[in-house]
Structure 1
């Protein structure tokens, strides 16, 4: 039995922080694989800045030298009505029935789930395990204790909290803004992705 982390994000674009985060989480949580899962452009809660094709190409380029990283376009292929994390995780548990599946997310998303803002949130928390990264001084234990949904499913294994040494200072937004004004965000993202963005004039 292996351990697989599902790392969903817009990846608009993928950055070195995404790669470093995945590596750190895999090391600390003893994951065998990390699946990079670009979100669907059809989601009503997401406003993306480039096409699915460009985001998909950059994710593949960014992870091609790491055998522990896998790119998966499952959510990109889904219709808008079916893009729920609960359904996504159910899919991956069917694909990898012998492995333990973990959803990797930031503490801000844990807050949203605890507040019932995610679709199928009851089933999502009840049936899955999560690796939660500290973010923006959010007290993750307080978030869990203040949410009836979260605290009543906190059995000591549902939430793996990583609260030291993971900073998310460099965002995709920062990189997009730099490209937009003719700045120089080189070295904040993989070189192959940097050159791809320049070649295709993305984020201008």
Structure 2
């Protein structure tokens, strides 16, 4: 039985922090694989800054050489009405029926789920396991205890909280702003992705 982490994000663009985080989570949680899952530009709750094709290509470039990292375009292929994390995790649990599936997310998303902002939030927490990464200023234990959705569906193994050393805040937004304003974010993302962005004049 393998342990698989699902790492969903816009990856717009993917950054070195995404890669460092995934690698650290895989090491600490003894994951056999981390699946990078770029979200679709059809989602109504997010606005992408570049095409699905470009984000997909950059993720593939970024993870080359790491045998534990793979990509999946499941969400990119879905219709807008069917794109929820609850449905996505149902898909992966069916695809990997003999394995343990964990959804990797930041503590800010833990709060959103706890406040019922995600579709099927109660069932999402009840039926799945999560690896939650620290974010500056967020007390993860307190966030769980304050939310009826989170605390009443936690059987002691629902949330794997990772704190020390993971509160890195260089974001895709920061990198997009640097490209747009003529900055130089070269060492904040993989060299292959930096060259890809330059080649296709993305985020200008």
Q: Within the alignment, does 1:117 sit opposite 2:124 as a pair?
A: no
Distance 2:41 2:168 in 1: 23
Q: Give 5+ residue unaligned stretches, structure 1.
A: none
- Which residue in the other structure is 2:47 paired with? 47
Deviations 1:95-150 (A, max 9, x none): 11110000000000000000000001111001000000010210011110000110
CA shift at 1:167, angstroms? Answer: 2.2
Give the CA deviation at 1:155: 1.3
Which position in structure 2 is the counterpart of 1:179? 179
In the TM superposition, 1:2-21 aligns within 5 A as 2-21=2-21
Task: Decide whether the 8 Å contact of 2:14 with 2:59 is kept in 1.
Answer: yes
TM-score (norm 2): 0.99
**TM-align CA RMSD:** 0.6
User: How far off its partner does 1:176 sit?
Assistant: 0.4
Contact 2:126/2:154 (<8 A) preserved: no
**Match in the other structure for 1:150:** 150
Report if the CA contact (8 A) 2:107-2:133 is conserved: yes
CA displacement at 1:12 relative to structure 2: 0.1
- Deviating 4+ runs (over 2 angstroms): none
Deviation at residue 168 of structure 1 after TM alignment: 2.5
Structure 2 gaps, min length 5:
none
SS of 1:44 mapped into structure 2:
coil
- Paired residue secondary structure (2:73): coil
For 1:136 and 1:84, how far apart are their aligned partners in 2?
26
SS in 2 for 1:5: strand
- Structure 1 length normalisation: TM-score? 0.99
Query: 1:132 maps to which residue?
Result: 132
Provide the aligned length of Structure 1 versus Structure 2. 204
Question: What's the secondary structure of 2:186's corresponding residue?
Answer: coil
